[in-house]
Amino acid sequence: MTESPDPNARDLIEFYLDAGADAFIGEEPVDRFALVDGPVAPKVAERPALVREAAPPIAAPARPAPQAPDEAATAARIAARSATTLDELRAIVEGFDGCALKATASRTVFSDGNPQARLMLVGEAPGRDEDIEGLPFVGRSGKLLNQMLKAIGLDRTSVYIANIVPWRPPGNRDPSPHESAICLPFILRQIQLVDPDVLVCLGKPSMQTLLGLMEPISKARGRWVTFNTGKRDIKALATFHPAFLLRSPLQKRFAWRDLLAIKKALKNG
């Protein structure tokens, strides 16, 4: 008879996945602080026997030297500006090593949808499902986003979707302001190259980063503002992030109003 899986073990694995530990790297735990020589680590002679006997640290694979955030943002700006097509921009983003998030993500999540679309949606950052598939909004919030779009007669063939940050932050934490600042030139150039008529920011971080609106999203959502793409002025609006709507379904009534406003703007514009 096969043993049924321990439900506690399943919960623990789910907890690890949610916390960003999505790869098994060894049978035994290693106290890496104890392997570091420096003021925080006890001297070798004082360390417990177990630590002294631990294998020497394995040399990390060669990675490009980390850049200061300002330097990285400047490098991103120069690189983004040099892209004349979305394919060029995608290759540039995939080859960019100035943002530390890339080192912990499994894939670059550049975009999904139709580059000719008149509506562009921008979320915050990929989550675990997006990191696995390499596409934005494919997890639970993506499924809700699909339903929201369907409600106004749209789908992924008629919209273009991207994120402020193209790499999953470890454990699905929020991207830091520095990480967002480094990646900003890429999403700005992406908007310029897609050249949509209507831009929709999904959630507060996207709204703050792209539209500079610092009010609570519950106040700012649904209000049209002008967004200058560098080529022309377009209409932009912030609405609730689908992940928030999954947690607060009563707020869907406000998202519905925003969807109707988006539909109207596309019809009139």
Residues that bind ligand URA (CB under 6 A): 123-127, 130, 136-137, 141, 163, 243
Residues 127, 168: contact at Cβ < 8 Å?
A: yes
CB of 267 to ligand URA, least distance (A): 27
Q: Which is nearer to ligand URA, 191 or 243 (CB)?
A: 243
Q: Which is nearer to ligand URA, 113 or 127 (CB)?
A: 127
Q: Which is nearer to ligand URA, 69 or 134 (CB)?
A: 134
CB of 212 to ligand URA, least distance (A): 19
Pairing of strands 159-163, 198-202: unpaired
**Using alpha carbons only, what angle is made at residue 99 by residues 93 and 101, rounded to the nearest 5 degrees?**
100
Q: Which is nearer to ligand URA, 130 or 179 (CB)?
A: 130
Residue of this chain nearest to ligand URA (CB atom): 123
Q: Which is nearer to ligand URA, 98 or 205 (CB)?
A: 205
HEC profile for 165-212?
A: CCCCCHHHCCCCHHHHHHHHHHHHHHHHHHCCCEEEEECHHHHHHHHC
Q: Which is nearer to ligand URA, 76 or 201 (CB)?
A: 201
Q: Report how far apart the first and last C-alpha atoms of the chain are (Å, whole number).
A: 66
CB of 251 to ligand URA, least distance (A): 16
CB of 10 to ligand URA, least distance (A): 24
Q: Which is nearer to ligand URA, 17 or 62 (CB)?
A: 17
Sign of CA dihedral 19, 22, 27, 33: negative
CB of 179 to ligand URA, least distance (A): 14
CB of 124 to ligand URA, least distance (A): 4
Structure tokens at 93: 């983003």
Which stretch of DSSP H or E encloses residue 234? strand 233-239
Tell me the C-alpha distance between 154 and 2, whole Å. Answer: 47
CB of 46 to ligand URA, least distance (A): 46
| Amino acid code (one letter) for 3 | E
**Using alpha carbons only, what angle is made at residue 169 by residues 167 and 175, rounded to the nearest 5 degrees?**
95
Any bridge partners for residue 199, and if so which?
120, 236
For the chain, give the longest Cα–Cα distance. Answer: 76
